[in-house]
Structure 1
């Protein structure tokens, strides 16, 4: 399976000629990520994870495109792209489904706390093909499964370096790559990735940096 990282939280997966896109948000190159996509998974409603207008346009322009997202996101997209309503599915925690030739299992439940005065929204993490786990804005560790490739939110208003490292240690995937990094400069990125690389290795996780546009086989 080919994994391509885009700016911030967006990732594109390709396998057997099919394409699955996760979290094409407003910080990302959404048109490029969504080109030729067969399915889209959205973790939660924040704009840096879902560019509503771009995704709605993709749903209207590609009559085979399927989308899975928490109900609030699904409802918004049904109103924006009413002709695609039957292809827009509400995703909740504890589900298993198939889309575009990929198997998906859901975990998590809610967005990590930013501040008590900022509402907590639904957040669904997706494990794709029992391999790639995208947690969205959460450090929820999947239970009862082994993750082979972990996407790590390395920087956000809701996390700190110790929590990032503990998430990597807790999941213990053999391989990890960064997401949620658009607000970092090179100095901050180097500091965080240094800790994740060094400490993660003690627990069996190889952390590799990816820049936007980089692709790897996983």
Structure 2
């Protein structure tokens, strides 16, 4: 499987001519990430993960494209693109489904707390083909599965470094790459990643930084 990292939280997976895209948001190169996509998985409604305009355009451009997202996101996109509503589906924690040849399991259900005064929103983390886990905006450890490739939200308004490190250690996947990194400077990102890499290595996790547009075979 080929994994390509785009800016911030967007990741593209390609295998046997099939393409799955996770969280194309407004910070990401959504049009490039979505080119030729068969399925899109959205973790939650925040615009750095959900570029509504880009997804509406993608639905128009690709008749085979299907999109899975929490109920609020799915409803919003159906309202924006009613002519494509039949290809927009609701995903929820605890569900499993197959789409475009990919096996998908859903975990979590709730966005991490940013501040008590801010309303909570739904968040679904996705495990793809029993390998790649994208948690969205949460640090939910998926239960009952072994993760081969962990996508680590390296920095967010709702997290701190110790929580990110504990998440990596708890999931304990052999491979890990950063996501959710657009809010840090280059120096700040390198500093935070050094902690994740150093402590993760003590627990068998090989953490590696991927630049936007960089691909890796997993």
- Is the shorter-chain TM-score for this pair beyond 0.5, marking a shared fold? yes
Map of 1:187 onto structure 2: 187
Q: Distance in 2 between matches of 1:53 and 1:186?
A: 29
Map of 1:206 onto structure 2: 206
Map of 1:30 onto structure 2: 30
Deviation of the 1:101 alpha carbon: 0.8
Map of 1:42 onto structure 2: 42
Deviation of the 1:186 alpha carbon: 1.4
Q: Secondary structure at the match of 2:123?
A: strand
Q: Distance in 2 between matches of 1:25 and 1:186?
A: 20
Map of 1:9 onto structure 2: 9
Q: Distance in 2 between matches of 1:15 and 1:208?
A: 21
Q: Distance in 2 between matches of 1:57 and 1:81?
A: 9
Map of 1:95 onto structure 2: 95
After the TM superposition, which residues 1-218 of structure 1 pair with which residues of structure 2 at under 5 Å, given as runs? 1-218=1-218
Q: Could you list the structure 1 runs, at least 4 aligned residues long, displaced by more than 6 angstroms after superposition.
A: none
Q: Secondary structure at the match of 1:89?
A: strand
Q: Distance in 2 between matches of 1:2 and 1:111?
A: 28
Deviation of the 1:191 alpha carbon: 1.0
Contact kept in structure 2, 1:57 and 1:81, CA below 8 Å: no
Q: Distance in 2 between matches of 1:8 and 1:111?
A: 17
Contact kept in structure 2, 1:60 and 1:83, CA below 8 Å: no
Q: Distance in 1 between matches of 2:131 and 2:84?
A: 29
CA RMSD of aligned residues (A): 0.5
So what's the TM-score if we normalise by structure 2? 0.99
Q: Distance in 1 between matches of 2:194 and 2:65?
A: 39
So what's the TM-score if we normalise by structure 1? 0.99
Q: Distance in 2 between matches of 1:118 and 1:187?
A: 30
**Unaligned residue ranges in structure 2 (runs of 5+):** none
Q: State the Cα deviation string for residues 172-209 of structure 1 (Å, max 9, x = none).
A: 00000000000111111111110000000001100000
Deviation of the 1:158 alpha carbon: 0.4
**Unaligned residue ranges in structure 1 (runs of 5+):** none
Deviation of the 1:80 alpha carbon: 1.0
Q: Distance in 2 between matches of 1:83 and 1:18?
A: 24
